[in-house]
Amino acid sequence: MNQVTEMMLREQGAAVVKSHTEADVSYLFLTCKRIIDFFLSLSLLLITSPIIALLIIWIKYESPGPALYVQERVGYRGKIIRVFKLRSMYNDAEKDGPRWAVRNDSRITKVGSFIRRTRLDELPQLINVLRNDMSLIGPRPERYAFMLQFSEKIPGFMNRVLVKPGLTGLAQVNGGYDLTPEEKFEHDMYYIHHYSAWLETKIFFKTIFIVLTGRGAR
């Protein structure tokens, strides 16, 4: 993505944030959220590092290609961020361009199906949280191509950049990959309009439940 395109997207995102007062929250809340994000993500990264290492070995064993990859996503105010993920698809899955993942997607490997169901493919994004590109909880950062596509079809889709994107979010614990873009957008906007410590706590513990049981997604 060139600098001009990124600048235009950031300007659009900033304009949305400036014009939208319903996403305003207290400075104290945001400060506490950032402190919790930092220390909790650091702790989780240390605790899950053996799991990440085992998953990397499993991914490499099942199919050729890097186990970890970096992907550009649209972050807060339209800023382009580079997120880290465990590879859940075959290495040439997007040789014909980016495609929206669907149920029983033939591009997904066996280990990929497992780590997607349990959300373990997102664990490396704890690094993004430490870098302050993301929060532990918030709307999932979308890819640029899909951001443009959905913005044309779904009114107000750009409003997702009102808050910092998250490692997990309301959409992910209420359907995740099975949801349509419209359904995900509805969950994201509910989160933004009801931004609170209680909602954050609820999403956090529901995410743990999904990771531990593999349940909780439609």
Do 159 and 16 form a contact (C-beta atoms < 8 A)?
yes
Is residue 70 in a domain?
yes
Q: pLDDT of 74-98, one tens digit each?
A: 999 888 999 999 998 876 656 555 5
Is residue 11 in a domain?
yes
Q: What percent of the chain has pLDDT over 90?
A: 40
Regarding predicted confidence, which is higher, 150 or 20? Answer: 150
Phi, psi dihedrals of residue 49, rounded to the nearest 5° = -55, -40
Give the pLDDT band (50/70/90) at residue 107.
Answer: confident
Residue 185 has pLDDT above 90, yes or no: yes
Is residue 113 in a domain?
yes
Is residue 28 in a domain?
yes
Q: How many CA atoms lie within 13 A of 152 on its CB side?
A: 5
Is residue 218 in a domain?
no
Over residues 47-67, the mean pLDDT reads: 92
pTM beyond 0.85, yes or no: no
Residue 22 has pLDDT above 50, yes or no: no
Is residue 59 in a domain?
yes
Regarding predicted confidence, which is higher, 94 or 61? Answer: 61
List C-alpha distances in Å: 142 to 41, 42, 62: 21, 24, 27
Do 162 and 16 form a contact (C-beta atoms < 8 A)?
yes
Is residue 20 in a domain?
yes
| Domain, as residue range, for 111 | 3-213
List C-alpha distances in Å: 204 to 8, 38, 103, 168, 208: 33, 15, 24, 8, 7
Is residue 184 in a domain?
yes
Domain count of the chain?
1
